[in-house]
Amino acid sequence: MALFEWDDNLVVGVLEIDDQHQRLVELINLLHDDIISPDKSGSEKITQEILEELVDYTIAHFSIEQYLMDVHEYPESPAHINEHNKFIDKISQFEKDFKEKHANIQQDTLAFLKDWLYNHIMKVDKEFGKFLNSKGVS
């Protein structure tokens, strides 16, 4: 069973953002499936690839949100961007530890990723989605 089940409560109402959130959920699930896979032999490379994609995709997603904030002069952008930056620091550190120290990705790391994304979408991104809708973006 997937770690993170997508549900429509997570929809923020802006198509591009919603599509990207679904991809992020998928990547977290891929990482989870990889970690719990019974045959882990020789799969460090796969874990590394998923982690890299998760970091790169997250950075790209945040850039697009931040671009939309700039274009539409979103007043809450400093706090929102601050959340993004802290998350990027965290996941970059996971990736670095994995690459350099061969640290295992633990269940609590996955729980952190899932909880952070869920809470961020439900609170901050939904607020931003409402703002964008009010500007005619959907």
What amino acid occupies position 1? M
The residue at minimum Cβ distance from Fe ion is 125
Residue 110 Cβ, how far from Fe ion at the closest point, in Å?
18
Residues engaged in binding Fe ion (CB under 5 A): 65, 125
Decide: 24 and 58 in contact? Cβ < 8 Å: yes
Closer residue to Fe ion in complex, CB, 125/132: 125
Decide: 69 and 128 in contact? Cβ < 8 Å: yes
Helix, strand, coil share of the chain (percent; to 5) = 75, 0, 25
Residue 46 Cβ, how far from Fe ion at the closest point, in Å?
26
Closer residue to Fe ion in complex, CB, 65/113: 65
Residue 111 Cβ, how far from Fe ion at the closest point, in Å?
19
Closer residue to Fe ion in complex, CB, 110/125: 125
Residue 84 Cβ, how far from Fe ion at the closest point, in Å?
6
Both tokens of 131, joined, read: 């703002």
Q: What are phi and psi of 15, to 5 degrees?
A: -55, -50
Residue 64 Cβ, how far from Fe ion at the closest point, in Å?
9
HSE (side-chain half, CA atoms, 13 Å) at 46: 14
Dihedral sign computed on CA atoms, order 24, 29, 32, 38: negative
Closer residue to Fe ion in complex, CB, 35/117: 117
Closer residue to Fe ion in complex, CB, 40/123: 123
